[in-house]
Amino acid sequence: MKRILFIGTGGTIASEITENGLLPGLGPEQLLKYVPGLENLCSVDFLQLYDLDSTNIGPDHWLGMAKTIRENYALYDGFVISHGTDTMAYTAAALTYLIQYSPKPIILTGAQKPIGFDTTDSKVNLADSFTAACWDGMHGVAVVFNGRVIAGTRASKTHSKSFDAFSSMNYPNLADVRDGRMLQYIVPEFLPGPLFYDKLCPSVGLLKLTPGGDVGLMEYMINRYDALIVESFGVGGLPQTGGFHDLVRRAAEEEGKTIIMTTQVPNEGSDLAVYNTGFALAGSGRILEAYDMTTEAVLAKVMWILGQTRNSDEIRRLFYTPVSRDILSMK
Ligand code: ASP
């Protein structure tokens, strides 16, 4: 029988009603009381790592989760982490970079409704997560939610209220879970031993362009952060008035800042070279482009890369080297 470590971090799934809104309070052992029959699938140990709404989770917590998995890696066949949905996609991406090519499944799940509610997605999401964590063909980090198994670098929260909260962006689901059975379409790559990392650089900002937006905000963010992700419009570009182009090119080419151009359109990714508004940026050789990556994955990947190196050629090489199929079509 497989041995699974169940790590609780909080979120709606573990929340209870208080006078001041939903608040995480239930531990992982209490959660599993709602999932009968699990003892026939696997043996489970519990660990309460955090008790947080995921709005409060950040890079230090990602490092904490990776460390916990690293310390327990040899003892278990798989890991299930219960987590708030709001930032779960960021955590999934970050764990994918911190624990690369894991042969053992590391499954993140949560719920849109607390486990104690009459109508809740908590129980099925938990049961599906243990099914995925026990599945021989499952490797590495994935989000399991509403019957979908989504690669850790491809998940995005696309619905704020309904049970169908997560989508796999620009990439198919790895698997679906139907009535406790895995329908697996893609077998993730793995190595006999995973690569663990223990450093992230949190100094990565994200700016969403708005029509008529002030270049001063971008200038402030470039000065404030080591790296800036710019979510521009459509396939990508910058306004041709106001000094945006000069600012970005100077930051990337002369000041050693890492600038990543991406799009605020959720599907299909960027292609800076298409329009004159982005053409020169695409040809700069120093400005990076996200192409089909999710913004969540870009943020986590750049934090991971800047945790390893400050050499701009190496930053570029690592950024464009796919990890768990995070970047596929560079067009
Ligand atoms: N605010 C909650 C959280 O992210 C939402 C949820 O879990 O669904 O922790």
Each residue's pLDDT tens digit, 56-102: 999 999 999 999 999 999 999 999 999 999 999 999 999 999 999 99
- 157 CA from centroid of ligand 1 (Å): 11
Q: What average pLDDT score do residues 128-148 get? A: 98
Q: Which residue has the tokens 């570029």?
A: 316
Distance (Å, rounded) from C-alpha 195 to C-alpha 200?
Answer: 15
- 85 CA from centroid of ligand 1 (Å): 5
Residue 189's pLDDT is what? 92
Q: Which of 16, 83, 86 to mutate to test the pocket of ligand 1 (most atoms within 8 A of CB)?
A: 86
CATH code: domain 2-196 is 3.40.50.1170
Mean of the per-residue pLDDT values of the chain: 97
- The candidate with the shortest Cα–Cα distance to 96, out of 179, 224, 200, 214, is 200
Numbered ranges of CATH 3.40.50.40 in the chain: 204-319
Q: Does domain 204-319 have CATH number 1.10.10.10?
A: no
Say if residue 281's pLDDT is above 90. yes
- 86 CA from centroid of ligand 1 (Å): 5
* % of residues, the chain, pLDDT over 90: 98
Distance (Å, rounded) from C-alpha 9 to C-alpha 52?
Answer: 6
Residue 7's pLDDT is what? 98
What is the number of the ligand 1 atom nearest to the C-alpha of 110? 7
Q: Which residue has the tokens 């995925």?
A: 132
Q: Which of 20, 54, 108, 115 to mutate to test the pocket of ligand 1 (most atoms within 8 A of CB)?
A: 54
Structure tokens at 81: 């982490």
Distance (Å, rounded) from C-alpha 298 to C-alpha 316?
Answer: 13
For residue 52, the cross-strand partners are 10
- 114 CA from centroid of ligand 1 (Å): 10
What is the number of the ligand 1 atom nearest to the C-alpha of 111? 8
The model scores a pTM over 0.95: yes
Numbered ranges of CATH 3.40.50.1170 in the chain: 2-196
Q: Which residues carry out catalysis?
A: 12
Say if residue 304's pLDDT is above 90. yes
- 11 CA from centroid of ligand 1 (Å): 5
Binding-site residues, ligand 1, Cβ < 6 A: 11-12, 53-55, 84-86, 110, 112
What is the number of the ligand 1 atom nearest to the C-alpha of 10? 9
The residue whose C-alpha atom lies closest to atom 3 belonging to ligand 1 is 84
Residue 214's CB: how many other CB atoms inside 10 A? 10
Structure tokens at 315: 């930053």
Residue 331's pLDDT is what? 62
Each residue's pLDDT tens digit, 205-241: 999 999 999 999 999 999 999 999 999 999 999 999 9
Distance (Å, rounded) from C-alpha 61 to C-alpha 56?
Answer: 9
Each residue's pLDDT tens digit, 97-109: 999 999 999 999 9
Say if residue 275's pLDDT is above 90. yes
Q: What average pLDDT score do residues 36-64 get? A: 97
Residue 329's pLDDT is what? 77
Residue 28's pLDDT is what? 95
Each residue's pLDDT tens digit, 167-212: 999 999 999 999 999 999 999 999 999 999 999 999 999 999 999 9
Residue 330's pLDDT is what? 75
What is the number of the ligand 1 atom nearest to the C-alpha of 88? 4
Q: What average pLDDT score do residues 112-132 get? A: 97
Distance (Å, rounded) from C-alpha 251 to C-alpha 153?
Answer: 27
